[in-house]
Amino acid sequence: MTTSIPNPGDRLVPRQALWKRFDEAAAGRAVFVHAPAGYGKTSLCAQWALQRSDSGGLVRWIQLEEDDRDLGAFIGKLAAAACEDAGDGAVSPLDASSIGDLTRLFAERVRLLPRRTVFLLDDYHLAESKDANDLLGELLRVGPLTGHCLVVSSRMRPSIPVGDLWLDGQLRSFNARDLLMSEEEIAELFSMIPHGPRPIDIAQIFRKTEGWAVAVRMAGRIAEQNADGADPLADFGGKQEDVAHYLAERLTAKLSPGDLDFLMRLAPLNRFDAELADHLTGTDGFTTRVTRLECAGVPFVALDHERRWLRFHPVFQDFLLSQPCAEGAEPGAILLTAARWFERKGNIEAAVSHALAAEAPTVAVEMLERAGGWRLVYSGAGGIRRVLPAALASLPEEEHGAFPRTLLGNAVLLAKNGDLAACRRAFENAGRTIPEKDAALQREFRLIGQLLALYADIEASRAEFDQLAADLDLLARDNTQSALTLNLLCFLCLQFGEFGRALEHGASAVAEFRRAGAFFGAAHLHTHMGQAHLFRIEIDAARAAYAQMAESARQLLGDGSDLEAMARVLDAEALVEEGTFAEAAGSLSEFLPQLEEGDCWFDILAAGYLAQLRIHLLGNRLSDAHRALDHAAMVAQQRNYGRLARLVERERVFLLAHSGMPREARAFARAHGLDEVSAADRTRNDLTRRLRGNVPAMLWARIHHAEGDYRAALHYLDRLAANQTGAMPPLRHVRLSMLRIRFLLAVGREGEAGALLDEVLLTPFVERTHTSFVEEGDGVAAFLELRRASPALPPIQREKLAALLGPAQRQAAAGAPSQDFTEREVSVLKLVATGLSNKEIARALAISDNTIKFHLKNVFRKLDRSNRIGALAAARELGLIDG
């Protein structure tokens, strides 16, 4: 028997990173290398063993065969391998007759080895047995191998009993995922292969082969054979003649008819587990069969750590699908059977996907309709945003009328994607399919209509609110429909300024969604409930709601979802109110652009833009404030958000007056329907419904103040207060009171200003409204300092004013940061300074090229530069990067 290391082959890529990991692992007692056929185990181990040997290490290569299942033959090979380089001591001849004698002989020879040695067992799956596993476990734990390293290469993870070694860090395992070739390694391999003048698309090869070594080699051979072709790899796949012959010869030729039928029936699927496989094949013993097939070389790919769900490697799957199938095992029939199995299991996304793959769109949409149609959007059904529109698009339009709930679901998804025109058409089409006498469907239609009105920025009336409440009384509880109804009642109560009722409905909606298993729907409630808390100045409760919303979004959808972005933008509004500008600015710059094109509605965009405006004004950056309003106006136009457009117009009037331009403010106001008559309109000045921004009466008060007509300014505020028919939201009351104090001081009525301040300071949680106390100018700030020093100020108000003025003064002194850069934007800037390309920066930060472009666009805008050179110079001036 020879123990020399085999020739690993030609055109090999030195896999230095993996060799280094092998070297580190070999410092322990055992290394397992296990993967199906074709992953390059023997070649990789041989390369590593040769470089280790060249570096002075001792490596004994033991090539195993099926005959080595005999334990005597197996231990005999171990003993023979230990004989070489065993030193000058007396070595017993290999003539022992019993297993015990052979084991003692092996131990004797190992003890005589001059230094630490690696014993490498290749193709252990051919010789593995319970006796061999037990023997190796004993040798590794307490036997002669304790001072050496045993490397075992096999198609399956060896069942050698060495769990205690793993716990002690003495065992490392490398599986198929570890052995996959990287895109860079594939590129290096193809650089050795002659091919035509056109460059090879390495990314395409990586996608097709998934780094499976034998598939990469086959792609290389085909590229070499077709070097003169326009696209040498156009035909690469399991159906290609040479590939198919190779796979048939190496993997399927020796399989039994039963095993081959098993593979053919699973070939149409992109994933399967034991239960599904047994259902489709009419067999049992899935795990045992898969183990046997993997030993035979079939390339299964595990989709989870527990190996519950598997699939075939795509090249092998492609090959199987090219083979003739038995009657009743046609891919379409298999896919439909799997679709119905998934539907019974409650996995609607998988069910619909398989029905579509079977080219059965009617079956797919029937499944969606049975599952509730629009309800699936709120149940958190994974992938519903993809499969529902795809199913409807595949179905002839004349058949749509049979599926009204699915049509409503499509309208909801279009709204969430920001396509309001298509959403409106889809909703109208759904309405035409619903019979007038179908009361249940009519209630659902009204409910979705109110939901879409939220996205379309259409304000609801009290009558519509009452209709929703009446519909709720007719619904069975503990289902998604009642939960969504409560959700909208919560939202509408927020719009009406009824914050207590909003929170009550919100808590009920969360409970209903959770009882219905619709956790995605429950997560949305925190947008409304957080705002209700904020307007009541319960900032801690608001931020807690947004934090819970962001965490739920990450758990349900992963990082970076629109739902998480909503939470972060709303949280930024709360941060600005309490005076934490830098963190708020970072969140707004990162998440607000995402919502401008995604799942969003008026309130969230308004919160974000007004928070940005306050930051710019407190930093005395008027140009940035105007640019922010320009951008908000553009978004309002793109999304056809009339209410947002009108808000931007009002804030433009405010900004002009604030900037000392009252004539321009007057002209702009009159040109946009905001003349002085509008200041007397009760509806347009209702502060219980207009929760954010300036209303017309406030605008004209500010214009008159900017013109020096302070009495007129006070008159407008007096009329605004008199026209209110309901209780003013606490946060509105604080901000309006600070504006009134400013005007009272301007006309010399300090006593009234002091009395109003004392009243405002009794507002619950007012000490958290830092920004509201500094944004009305230096005159108000000076008055607050004097008032705090006054002995007439009661202790309770003094304590609250002291809490307000500490942080407020620090913010006023510092202003908002001159430039608000996120941590990620600074990281990108630093990498730009090193000369890296966008693609190289994306790879370094493990994010996409498009994300890098997004961050650079923000950086250029903030630095007011249009290219990298200018941006780097400006960044160095600001100290963002080293000079």
Strands 310-312 and 300-302: antiparallel
Map tokens 């136009």 to a residue: 637
CA Rg, the chain, in Å?
A: 36
In this predicted model, what pLDDT tens digit does every residue of 360-376 receive, in sequence order? Answer: 999 999 999 999 999 99
Measured distance CA(188)–CA(190) in Å, rounded: 6
User: Which residue shows structure tokens 């596993």?
Assistant: 133
Helices 868-877, 849-863: inter-axial angle, 10-degree rounding: 60
Q: Is residue 87 within 8 Å of residue 95, measured between CB atoms?
A: no
Q: What is the DSSP string of 123-142?
A: SGGGT--HHHHHHHHHHHHT
The helix or strand, by DSSP H or E, that contains position 301, with its residue range, turns out to be strand 300-302
855: which residues sit within 8 A by CB, 6+ positions away?
A: 822, 824, 825, 828
CA atoms within 13 A on the CB side of 382: 8
Q: Which two tokens stand for residue 817?
A: 């940061």
For CA atoms 26, 27, 29, 34, the dihedral sign is: negative
Look up residue 345 and give its DSSP letter. T
Burial of 663 (0-12, 13-18, 19+ CB in 10 A): exposed
CATH code linked to domain 457-553: 1.25.40
How deeply is 350 buried, as exposed, middle or buried, from its count of CB atoms within 10 A (0-12, 13-18, 19+)? buried
Mapped onto helix, strand or coil, the DSSP state of residue 864 is coil
**Cα gap 106→92, rounded to integer Å:** 10
d(CA 141, CA 150): 11
Domain ranges of the chain: 16-177, 183-236, 457-553, 560-640, 823-877
pLDDT in tens, 808-830: 454 444 444 445 677 788 888 88
- Domain 823-877: top CATH class: mainly alpha
Buried b (16+ CB within 10 A) or exposed e, 56-66: ebbbbbbbbee
Strand pairing class (58-63; 171-174):
unpaired
What region does 681 belong to: left with phi over 0, alpha with psi -120 to 50, or beta?
beta
Which pLDDT score is estimated for 229? 66
- As beta bridge partners, residue 59 has 118
What is the model's pLDDT at position 777?
Answer: 87
Is 703 within 8 Å of 696 (Cβ atoms)?
no
- Which tokens is 518 given? 């619709």
Alpha helices in 723-768 (DSSP H): 730-746, 750-760
Taking a C-beta distance cutoff of 8 angstroms, is the pair 596, 750 a contact?
A: no
Task: Determine whether 89 is exposed, middle or buried from the number of CB atoms within 10 Å of its CB (0-12, 13-18, 19+).
Answer: exposed
Q: In whole angstroms, what is the distance from residue 352 CA to residue 368 CA?
A: 7
Separation between Cα atoms, residue 393 and residue 361, nearest integer Å:
9
Query: Which pLDDT belongs to residue 812?
Result: 46
**E strand segments, 728-832:** none
| Residue tagged 């990067």 (tokens) | 881
Residue in 183, 196, 202 with CA at minimum distance from that of residue 224: 196
Q: Which residues pair with 287 in a beta bridge?
A: none
Per-residue burial over 161-200, b if 16 or more Cβ lie within 10 Å, else e, is ebeebeeeebbbebebebbbbeeebbbbbbeebebeeeeb
Helices 99-111 & 130-141 angle (0-180, nearest 10): 30
CATH code of domain 16-177: 3.40.50.300
Using an 8 Å Cβ cutoff, are 696 and 678 in contact? yes
Query: Beta strand pairing status for 149-154 and 117-122?
Result: parallel
Q: What is the pLDDT of residue 195?
A: 63
Identify the three-state secondary structure at position 330.
coil
The Cα–Cα gap between 498 and 629 comes to: 29
From CA 372, how far away is CA 572, in angstroms rounded?
36
pLDDT digits over 636-645, tens only? 999 888 899 9
Total number of residues shown for the chain: 883
Residues of the chain with pLDDT under 50: 86-94, 96, 808, 810-818
- Asked if 487 and 525 touch (Cβ cutoff 8 Å), the reply is yes
Give every CB contact of residue 113 below 8 A, 6+ residues apart in sequence.
Answer: 58, 82, 85, 86, 87, 148
How far is residue 368's CA from residue 3's CA, in Å, rounded to a whole number? 62
Q: Are 538 and 765 in contact (CB under 8 A)?
A: yes
373: left (phi over 0), alpha (psi -120 to 50) or beta: left
Task: Note whether 77 and 1 are within 8 A (CB).
Answer: yes
Phi, psi (rounded to 5 degrees) for 60:
-110, 115
Helix axes 384-394, 348-357, angle to 10 degrees: 40
Q: By the 8 A CB rule, do 539 and 768 touch?
A: yes
Q: Is the separation of the CB atoms in 769 and 731 below 8 Å?
A: yes
- pLDDT reported for residue 232: 67
403 close to 368: Cβ distance less than 8 angstroms: yes
Whether the model pTM is above 0.85: no
